[in-house]
Every structure is written in structure tokens, then in C-alpha cells.
Amino acid sequence: MNDPSGPEPREPEVKETLSGRKQRFSLSRLEILFGGLLLVGLIYIGYVLFFQEGSDFSPALEKRMKKLEALLGEQTEKIDREIKALQALQAQLDARLRALENPSRTVTQPPVPPQASAVSNPPPKPASPTAAAGPVEKKTPSASTERKKIVHKVKKGETLKGIAAKYKVSTKDLLAWNKSIKQKSIRPGDTLTILSR
């Protein structure tokens, strides 16, 4: 099957590199890539490459191969940039995940809108003289003449905190007014009673 006048098969040796093969057989990189039909330029043990002595590429083929090699280089650079961007994004996501898993670390949080922060964190009340005298009985919100009763139907994506902010009440009040809410979870279609000010 081996034609003595044809190309001679050569198997790569262990740890043989592409540049080593080029120097050993006085071949250009393009000849090795084209001869082995390899696009990446890697030679593995067991590959059989055929070379003809004195073979030469035509100028048109040489030009096309250089153009393809340049395009391959550009694509490689683009992929490298994408990989670096993905690695940077992965590092950011890992840092966020670690911060969420370990709440003792300080986490940079996005700024809270002024209305939402005022609702969720009401200003501390001044200490009254009766507070030191003894325990103060907590008053549960009740429907007084000052409050207006509103029925709110929960829509998809709404949260207790968001609804409380919308009506300028606290989530504790919402839970107190709506005993049917279990474990602070609401679903679309639920109806909430709100006593607005």
C-alpha cells in the first residue's frame, strides 16, 4: 500500500512539538497544517502526517492560507477577550455569592430610594417619661375614624414590602390587619386589607 515514490508517513514522537517538527523536516507551519489537515496546529501521538520532499505551495494557496491563519488569530484573540470578560464577571458573581453566604461581611448594596427607606426604617420615637415608669402596652392598629379601609388585590411580582411602601404603612401593620397571611408570603390574587392614613 505504501508507494515508495509517494509521501513518507511519520508518526510524532512523545513530547514532539509543531515547531520541532518544522525544524526537523525543514517545513513551514502552513505545510504542516495543510499536510495534516489540522486547523488548530496541535499534533497528538498516533497522528500520521504525510510530506513530500521538495513540495511547494502555489502562491494563491499560500496567500489564502495566510489569510485564514490571520482570521484564526483574530478569532483566537476575540475568544481570549471574551474568556477574560467572563472570568471577571464570574469573579464578581463569586464575590457577591460569598457576601450573601457570609452576612458578617459588609456588602455594598444599591442605594435605597428615599420613600422606601422612610417606610421600612421609621425614625426613632423620642423617649417618653412614661416609658421609664413601666412596661408600655403595645397597641394594635385598629380602624379608627382617621383611617380609610382599602382592599388591595395582589398582582404578580408584588411583595409585602412593596405594597406597604405603596400605601405608606409598615409590613408589621399589613400582617396585623391580614391574619390570613402565613409566614409573610402572598400570592397573586390574594386580597389584603389596608387601613391607610
Query: What is the structure's pLDDT at 35?
Result: 56
Fill in the amino acid letter for 141: P
Tens of pLDDT, residue by residue over 23-52, are 666 666 666 555 554 444 566 667 676 656
pLDDT grade, residue 143 (50/70/90)?
A: very low
Query: What is the structure's pLDDT at 180?
Result: 79
Which sign does the torsion angle of CA 143, 146, 151, 154 carry? Answer: negative
Chain centre to alpha carbon of residue 99: 15
Query: What is the structure's pLDDT at 38?
Result: 47
Query: What is the structure's pLDDT at 79?
Result: 92
Tens of pLDDT, residue by residue over 158-192, are 888 888 888 888 888 888 888 877 777 788 888 88
Higher pLDDT: 18 or 63? It is: 63
**Domains of the chain, earliest start first:** 8-98 (no CATH), 112-118+143-197 (3.10.350.10)
Which sign does the torsion angle of CA 77, 82, 83, 88 carry? Answer: positive
Chain centre to alpha carbon of residue 94: 9
Phi, psi of 50, rounded to the nearest 5 degrees:
-110, 135
Q: Virtual CA dihedral for 113, 174, 108, 110, nearest 10 degrees?
A: -30
Least confident of 6-20, 29-43, 150-164: 29-43
Tens of pLDDT, residue by residue over 99-125, are 888 876 554 555 555 554 444 455 555
In order, the DSSP letters of the chain are: ---TTSPEEEPPPTT--HHHHHHHHT--HHHHHHHHT-SS----TT--EEE-TT----HHHHHHHHHHHHHHHHHHHHHHHHHHHHHHHHHHHHHHHHHHH-TTS----PPPPHHHHHHHSPPPPPPPHHHHHSPPPPPPP---TT-EEEEEE--TT--HHHHHHHHT--HHHHHHH-TT--TT---TT-EEEEEE-
Least confident of 39-48, 133-142, 143-152: 133-142
86 within 8 A of 63, measured Cβ to Cβ = no
Query: What is the structure's pLDDT at 81?
Result: 93
Higher pLDDT: 171 or 83? It is: 83
pTM score of the predicted model = 0.28
